[in-house]
Amino acid sequence: MGLVLMKAFNTFVRPIVEYATVVWNPSAKTSIKRIEAVLKRFTKRLHGLHNLSYNARLEALNEYSLYSPSC
């Protein structure tokens, strides 16, 4: 069920959140944190993943973070 919801998130929510990122380039830490917060809240609510860390949830869902090692 979690993978189906994640696919729906990537199809419907993520494009809205990341709209025109090429233009406004979310390189500031605050911008990245705001975008990342949407995915954090969503993955926290998926069945069976609420007790995992954020990185573990991303790994379980085969997703990636916007944070780069240089941030």
* Structural domain of 33: 2-61
**What does the pLDDT read at residue 53?**
94
For the chain, the domain total comes to 1
| Local confidence pLDDT in tens for the 71 residues of the chain | 678 888 888 888 888 777 766 555 656 777 778 878 888 998 898 888 889 999 999 898 888 887 755 44
Task: Establish if 35 belongs to a structural domain.
Answer: yes
Count each helix (H run) and each strand (E run) in the chain, helices first: 5, 0
Contact 9, 42 (CB under 8 A): yes
pLDDT on residue 71: 46
Question: The whole model's pTM is what?
Answer: 0.64
Is 70 within the bounds of a domain? no
- DSSP assigned state of 32: H
**Whole-number pLDDT of residue 23:** 57
